[in-house]
């Protein structure tokens, strides 16, 4: 990957620290972040109106950890679209399904030396008029920031609380609020996004089914969405992603999508439909491929559809190594070199960190979408390699075979690859007659200049 400026590295670190404060709400034990160990890290239980009980959590550190000052608090919970959740403060706690006010803690802060542990007792009192369905909260255990400079290191664990009211009416209902697709870009999968909201009064997990059909009603693919790892709490929404990778080119036209969201037992909660259009030539991304290279033999790494192949001669590597090829997201591609434009075929080759002992030959079958980007002129297509060590593109000398529709180039290193479109000027400059016309024009201009000066008597 390209190296990022320092300011982006600092920003990325801050994002990581924030993510450490979020753990998926799931009906399974929550694992501790490095630096903290917690037993009793989840509470899932049935309760009755008027119940009073306690839940014990033990918070500890490892022998090799630094001393920590620990804070503990209780909050209502808000889930994000990816299933993570956030602690809400008292002023934000306006939801019907909150259990925050039911819970009190025996301590809000304490100190831990390396290898020490401390018990935290949560006392829970269920009101007589608690209502029906489920009630939810989170107990957040986190350290005070440690470290030098402007960035502190925080260890944190969220302990989810699931309370189901016994004997009450439990409603598992929901609706699809949005069904969209990513931009249809040749060489990239089509992401289908279903946003689903829990409109019931109790938590549940969901799974899904997405069907893609052409204009004739023929089913192109059915994608099954696995059961969510965490439960959705009432009023919260979840975004489920299905990735559509066609088996071949998609003709221009309009395609239909049908999304179905179900409970774990298969009960359908809601269905929705939408359409997307393919308005430009579209070819699916290359399928992944891998091979084990050895110094003693020649090998070819090739995708199942034959679109991309890399021929390694004998002695290309000095030790046995596994090399893999996979699709690479267009949105992560570094900016194209000056005057060049990115086509649609992009891939990455992994496994080789240094230079090859013998050059390999990379051959790519350019697609209709690549040709479209080049204005129908295949001679403008080039293979380009992103050199991570130098943080720049290298546009390689590319052999274009219009009959076979292939591009080929030799290389001593493998990284991120892309088909690029050269500017028309490069094409003109590469033709043999340019190298004759330009010198001839210069010579003619010189002769005319000499004759003009002679006519004026400036030369003899």
State the Cα–Cα distance between residues 455 and 440, nearest whole angstrom. Answer: 23
Write out pLDDT tens, residues 370-420.
999 999 999 999 999 998 888 899 999 999 999 999 999 999 999 999 999
Mean pLDDT across the stretch 233-255? Answer: 93
Please name each of the domains of the chain with its CATH number: 20-165 (2.60.40.10), 174-278 (2.60.40.2550), 289-422 (2.60.220.30)
State the Cα–Cα distance between residues 58 and 119, nearest whole angstrom. Answer: 4
Sign (positive or negative) of CA dihedral 263, 266, 272, 274: positive
pLDDT at 421: 96
Among the ranges given (172-181, 388-397, 443-452), the one the predictor scored with the smallest mean pLDDT = 443-452
Mean pLDDT across the stretch 224-246? Answer: 94
Percent of the chain with pLDDT over 90: 62
Residue 160 contacts residue 25 (beta carbons within 8 Å): yes
Q: Which residue has the higher pLDDT, 19 or 164?
A: 164
Residue 179 contacts residue 167 (beta carbons within 8 Å): no
Sign (positive or negative) of CA dihedral 159, 77, 85, 173: positive
Residue 288 contacts residue 325 (beta carbons within 8 Å): yes
pLDDT at 456: 59
Report the chain's mean pLDDT, rounded to a whole number.
Answer: 85
Write out pLDDT tens, residues 20-54.
333 333 333 333 344 688 888 889 999 999 999 99
Q: What are the CA-CA distances from residue 149 to residues 5, 143, 345 (Å)? A: 19, 17, 44
Which residues lie closer than 8 Å to 324 by C-beta, 6 or more apart?
A: 288, 289, 290, 291, 349, 350, 351
State the Cα–Cα distance between residues 238 and 236, nearest whole angstrom. Answer: 7
169: which DSSP letter? P
pLDDT at 4: 44
Candidates 88, 100, 91; CA nearest to 125 is 100
Four-point Cα dihedral 68, 41, 122, 157, nearest 10: 40
Mean pLDDT across the stretch 172-178? Answer: 98
Residue 228 contacts residue 207 (beta carbons within 8 Å): yes
Write out pLDDT tens, residues 178-227.
999 999 988 889 999 999 999 999 999 999 999 999 999 999 999 999 99
pLDDT at 425: 57
């Amino acid at each position: 990957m390209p190296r990022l400026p320092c300011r982006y590295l600092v920003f990325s670190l801050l994002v990581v620290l924030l993510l450490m404060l979020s753990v998926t709400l799931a009906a399974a034990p929550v694992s501790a972040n490095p630096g903290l160990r917690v037993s009793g890290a989840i509470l899932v239980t049935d309760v009755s109106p008027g119940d009073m009980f306690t839940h014990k959590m033990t918070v500890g550190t490892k022998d090799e950890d630094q001393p920590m000052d620990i804070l503990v608090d209780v909050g209502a919970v808000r889930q994000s679209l990816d299933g993570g959740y956030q602690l809400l403060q008292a002023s934000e706690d306006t939801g019907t399904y909150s259990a925050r006010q039911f819970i009190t803690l025996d301590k809000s802060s304490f100190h831990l030396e390396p290898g020490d542990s401390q018990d935290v007792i949560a006392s829970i009192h269920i009101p007589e008029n608690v209502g029906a369905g489920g009630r939810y909260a989170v107990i957040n255990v986190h350290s005070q920031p440690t470290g030098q400079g402007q960035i502190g290191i925080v260890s944190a664990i969220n302990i989810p609380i699931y309370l189901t009211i016994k004997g009450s009416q439990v409603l598992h209902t929901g609706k699809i609020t949005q069904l969209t697709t990513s931009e249809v870009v040749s060489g990239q999968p089509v992401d289908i996004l279903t946003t689903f909201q829990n409109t019931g009064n109790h938590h549940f997990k969901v799974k899904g089914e997405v069907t893609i059909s052409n204009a004739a009603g023929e089913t192109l693919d059915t994608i099954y969405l696995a059961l969510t790892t965490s439960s959705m709490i009432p009023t919260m929404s979840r975004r489920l992603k299905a990735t559509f990778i066609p088996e071949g080119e998609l003709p221009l036209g309009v395609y239909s999508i049908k999304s179905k969201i179900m409970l774990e037992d298969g009960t359908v909660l809601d269905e929705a439909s939408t359409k997307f259009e393919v308005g430009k030539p579209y070819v699916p991304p290359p399928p992944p491929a891998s091979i084990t290279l050895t110094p003693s033999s020649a090998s070819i790494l090739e995708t199942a559809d034959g679109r991309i192949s890399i021929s390694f001669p004998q002695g290309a590597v000095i030790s046995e190594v596994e090399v893999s090829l996979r699709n690479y997201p267009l949105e992560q591609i570094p900016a194209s070199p000056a005057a060049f434009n990115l086509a649609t075929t992009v891939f990455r080759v992994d496994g080789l960190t240094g230079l090859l002992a013998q050059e390999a030959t990379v051959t790519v079958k350019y697609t209709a979408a690549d040709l479209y980007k080049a204005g129908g002129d295949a001679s403008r297509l080039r293979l380009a390699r992103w050199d991570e060590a130098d943080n720049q593109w290298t546009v390689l000398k590319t052999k274009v075979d219009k009959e076979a529709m292939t591009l080929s180039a030799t290389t001593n290193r493998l990284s991120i690859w892309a088909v690029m479109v050269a500017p028309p000027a490069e094409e003109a400059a590469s033709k043999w007659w340019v190298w004759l016309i330009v010198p001839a024009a210069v010579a003619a201009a010189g002769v005319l200049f000499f004759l003009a000066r002679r006519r004026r008597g400036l030369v003899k």
